[in-house]
Amino acid sequence: MTEVNKTERTPEQIELIWKHTHKDMKGVSNGVKTIVYPAPYSCLGTVEDLPEDAYQDKLRYARYKECCEKRDEKLRPIMVEHGVIEHFDSTMQWRDELDDVAVFAGFTLQGEALEALLTDVKAADITYPKTAGLKYL
């Protein structure tokens, strides 16, 4: 993943960081979006003025979470259709790549039922965090 210099910070990046910052860690001050960040203690600052390392960390996390959100939007209806939504909703694990989904679904489905689910998952053209090169931690 490419690093973004402070001069290259875009409104889209700032909005993405804001969107994926926990509600307890953000606020608005005089119409300006602020977030809490470590520097080395908890500080409050505007997203666009974060120190470079904090900005990069928040942006990396936001990109990861955005990919996860889009992945789950596509996976959820498939899991409902194949009767494994209860298991899907019980954990955030087993979703970083197609192989994870296959193993996870295999805990409940076997044979033709599993193959049908995987066919639908493959047809959904899902981008997974791991295959997109996105990771956090």
Q: In what order do the strands lie in the sheet with 42-46?
A: 26-29, 32-38, 42-46
77-101: average pLDDT: 92
Q: What's the predicted TM-score (pTM) here?
A: 0.85
Predicted confidence band at 46 (pLDDT cuts at 50, 70, 90)? very high
Predicted confidence band at 2 (pLDDT cuts at 50, 70, 90)? low
Give pLDDT, residue 40.
73
Predicted confidence band at 5 (pLDDT cuts at 50, 70, 90)? low
Predicted confidence band at 85 (pLDDT cuts at 50, 70, 90)? very high
User: Which residues have C-beta within 8 Å of that of residue 14, sequence separation ≥ 6?
Assistant: 33, 47, 48
